A and B are shown apart, each in its own frame.
Chain A
Amino acid sequence: MADVNRGNRPLSPHLQVYRPQLNSITSILTRITGNALLVGSLMIVWWLLAAATSESYFAVANAVLTSWFGDLVMLGSLWAIWYHTLAGVRHLIWDNAKMLDLESADILSWIVVIGSVVLTIFTVIVI
């Protein structure tokens, strides 16, 4: 194509011009939680490797995972994985072209947000 100005053209308005909505925020959080779970997952893998290696190595990894920093990552990961799981169920529902209207989508959003917090608190109490 005879477009010599490729790459130097004005961009169409993007995120910065849209008012945040329940839909957009819950959708972005799905991506953030899913990818952020890498941190907690790698820590758990490290913890397992340490347990499989020796008692002294386990003591090091276990100290990190049960420190205040470890607790913070594990608690955050717990909420993130519940959030991502519920948001995933929402996607499985949407894949069947069900509940795509605004009202149903908003209801699902609140279920994901509130449900993830409730499940996190429930898990912390149980385990």
Chain B
Amino acid sequence: MAFLTDRKRVVGLGSAKTGTDHFWAMKKSSVALLILVPLFIFTFGGILGGTYEEVVAYYSRPYPAIIAALTLLVGFKHFNDGVQVLIEDYVHGTMEKLLILVMTCVSYGAAAVGVFAIARLAL
């Protein structure tokens, strides 16, 4: 529509057309992970090596379950954003788009499987 001036339509969009969205998303998830990752390392690390009964009982508790679910969600979003830059740096053309698509499916897929598993263990 012509209600925006030409300048207004392009402001903040560099040659990449997306401004600083990616940078800001990376920054948000990295700060969140700064808190989540140490909590996840010590909860998951503590139970890895336990028996089936111990693992099921452990992830039935809210604290380890919520930490694990949040870490997987934010972690795989962060990974997806990061691997996108990796691909953009080294691969070009159709293969670039295809790889970003595949890695996005892997990231969201793994996060979904992880959260489903934790929900099933916890509930």
Chain A interfacial positions (CB closer than 8 Å to B):
31, 34-35, 37-38, 41-42, 44-45, 47-49, 51-52, 55, 58-59, 62, 65-66, 74, 78, 81, 85, 88-89, 91-92, 95, 123, 126-127
Contact = CB atoms under 8 A, between A and B. Distances in A.
Contacts of A31: 82, 86
B52 A52 contact: no
Contact of A42 (B37, B110, B118, B121): B110
Given A38-B79, A48-B68, A52-B117, 11 more contacts: A35-B83, A41-B76, A41-B79, A49-B113, A49-B116, A51-B121, A52-B121, A62-B55, A85-B38, A89-B34, A123-B41
Given A41-B75, A81-B37, A59 B86 contact: no
A62 B117 CA distance: 15
Interface stretch (B6-14, B25-33, B94-102): B25-33
Interface residues of B, number: 35
Contacts of A45: 72, 110, 113-114, 117
A118 B19 CA distance: 38
Interface of B: 27, 30-31, 33-34, 37-38, 41-42, 44-46, 48-49, 52, 55-56, 59, 68, 72, 75-76, 79, 82-83, 86, 106, 110, 113-114, 116-118, 120-121
19 contacts: A31-B86, A34-B79, A35-B82, A35-B83, A35-B86, A38-B83, A45-B113, A45-B117, A49-B113, A49-B114, A51-B52, A51-B117, A58-B52, A65-B48, A78-B41, A88-B33, A92-B27, A127-B42, A127-B45
Contact of B48 (A37, A55, A66, A88): A66
Contacts of A127: 41-42, 45-46
A48 B55 CA distance: 9
Contacts of A88: 30, 33-34
B86 A48 contact: no
Contacts of B106: 38
B81 to A, nearest CB: 10
Given A31-B86, A35-B82, A52-B116, A92 B121 contact: no
A34 B114 CA distance: 19
A126 B110 CA distance: 28
